[in-house]
Structure 1
Amino acid sequence: MSRTMEWAARPEHLGGIPRKLLIAIVGTFAKTVSSFLNTTSVHNADTLLHLVRSRPRRVPLITVSNHMSTVDDPAMWGFKGFPIFDTQSARWVLAAEDICFRNALYSYIFRVGKCIPITRGGGIYQEHMNEALERLNDGEWLHTFPEGKVNQEEAPIRRLKWGTASLIARAHITPIVLPIIHHGFHEVMPEKYMFGRRPPLPLWNKKIDIIIGDPIELDLPAMRQKAISQSRSESFPIVGWPSTCDGLDEAAQRCFYSTISEQIHAAMERLRCFGKKLVKS
């Protein structure tokens, strides 16, 4: 399978000018939504800023968050003090192919904007997941919405898809994994506003809260060994995943990715509960 407009996602495409222009436009939009039209408060912003700007060289960063609206990314990066206009440190993000890559124009814009198309239901070994893995192996920052789709309900974090866990497990250098929970974007861009549809533009005078956690401690070697042992007594439907470079068969991978996802889910849910208390206080 070929990669959608991979050439447009390269930093050297047309000397980097399209990316600089697009990041400036998108950054202005994000700043406008989060810092001017609405009131945004951020808890523990310094942790994210440090990891974006000053993490060890070649160490990748994965941020994971809940998904409350179609403007979460880029608007969640538009808070005061965030380097939204820096093309080099800007995040890569997994984006739904059926929404963001519906035609050639959309595909070009999102590709230039450091988005990687993901086919929902296409599995964790689809070609664009391999591209995301390459970006991590380059030491880049990748943002994912591991719930897999927008959820505007005031409810616990949904079960996470295994794609993020598989990237963490397969990266050459274990990424720093940072959980983020936000609240308020569902009011900025409600799914059912007029005649059951989204508003044409983001709404204003809303309160947005962004709660940034601390990096999740993942003991991958111990989790890997536990997965190998557990897989011997578990029964999974086999779909033909390739063995990993360290020899994990499909059953062991399923246990491994499930364990990683559960730990990320627990961290996100703790952060969500902390955020609810923080917002009320």
Structure 2
Amino acid sequence: MRRPRTMEWAARSNHMGGIPRKMLVAAVAAFARAVANILNTTTVYNSETLIRLVQSRPPGVPLLTVSNHMSTLDDPVMWGFKGFPTADPKLVRWVLAAEDICFKNSVLSYLFRLGKCIPITRGAGVYQEHMNEALDRLSDGAWLHTFPEGKVYQESAPIRRLKWGTASLIARAPVTPIVLPIVHHGFQEVMPENYLLGRRPPFPLWNKNIKIIVGDPIEFDLPKLRETAVSMSKHLSPSSSGWPKTTPCGLDEPAQKCLYSSISEQIRTVMENLRSFGKSIPFLKS
């Protein structure tokens, strides 16, 4: 399998004095605000919870936001709503990004690295190399965003079974992150996957309505979840699929899978409840 162009050096905050990142963040923030607020109408429910956790959560406590994935523009445009601090490089999220889309060549790799993106190889598993980089960012107390569905889904349908990568980060992080669920609707109309001859439009569409529903932090009883996972996995056999035999908390492969499945299902249930709630409310002012 081809390794992504990693360019870790471009992701460092002190790269060239931080000037390239500041320039890129300012440009992307302007683009996101224009798409969200000028070209289209964006309404947000419970935006104050997201803003508060981005700006003033306890020192050293990481923030992990999770959302559905309806278009290639979800990030960064979902952060472009009025009142959100989009232009501060220190507050901008880190995000897991598909290496086959965002890291196709050196130019894209450099730009996405400046934009605090971490390359992830879809299908390479929860223990692939750059998941450790994501864990490092959580260890730093940073904000990380993930799309746990793993790919773009533009159908108006229930939240699908989530990939286990996000759950593994929650379970393995040295400090358990604040996990904040977000569900949005409308990006599939701003950037439809099948617009002209089965391709995306060359630029965002306009006069669309975007709705963003921010939930409340999800509480995880990790000691109890680990205990349950061990109990559930007693009669399961390892699959010798490249997973570590045990984790630092002493879980073997079957127990790890049960734990990640349980965490993922808890997140999926909350996201689906948000999606159902969002369908029942009108467009709101952010």
* Contact 2:5/2:109, CA 8 A, preserved across alignment: no
For the pair 1:265 / 2:263, whether they are aligned, the reply is no
The SS at the match of 1:179 is strand
Identity of aligned pairs, percent?
Answer: 69
Measure, in 2, the Cα distance between the counterparts of 1:130 and 1:173: 14
Aligned to 1:63: 65
Measure, in 2, the Cα distance between the counterparts of 1:82 and 1:169: 29
Aligned to 1:220: 222
Aligned to 2:255: 252
Q: What is the deviation of 1:236?
A: 5.3
Which is worse superposed, 233-242 or 42-51?
A: 233-242
Matched to 1:49, the amino acid is I
Q: What is the deviation of 1:238?
A: 3.1
- Superposition map of 1:42-121 within 5 A: 42-121=44-123
Aligned to 1:231: 233
Give the aligned length: 281
Matched to 1:245, the amino acid is P
* Contact 1:209/1:279, CA 8 A, preserved across alignment: no
Aligned to 1:173: 175
* Contact 1:40/1:210, CA 8 A, preserved across alignment: yes
Q: What is the deviation of 1:41?
A: 0.3
* Contact 1:3/1:128, CA 8 A, preserved across alignment: no
Measure, in 2, the Cα distance between the counterparts of 1:143 and 1:216: 15
Q: Give the alignment partner of residue 206 of structure 1, picking from 205, 208, 225.
A: 208
Measure, in 1, the Cα distance between the counterparts of 2:210 and 2:200: 18
Aligned to 2:156: 154
The SS at the match of 2:150 is coil
The SS at the match of 1:150 is coil
Matched to 2:125, the amino acid is G
For the pair 1:37 / 2:42, whether they are aligned, the reply is no
Q: What is the deviation of 1:235?
A: 4.3
Please tell me the root mean square deviation across aligned C-alpha atoms, in Å: 1.4
Moved over 2 A (4+): 233-238
Measure, in 1, the Cα distance between the counterparts of 2:227 and 2:91: 35
Measure, in 1, the Cα distance between the counterparts of 2:35 and 2:222: 38
TM-score (norm 1): 0.98
Matched to 1:244, the amino acid is T
For the pair 1:129 / 2:131, whether they are aligned, the reply is yes
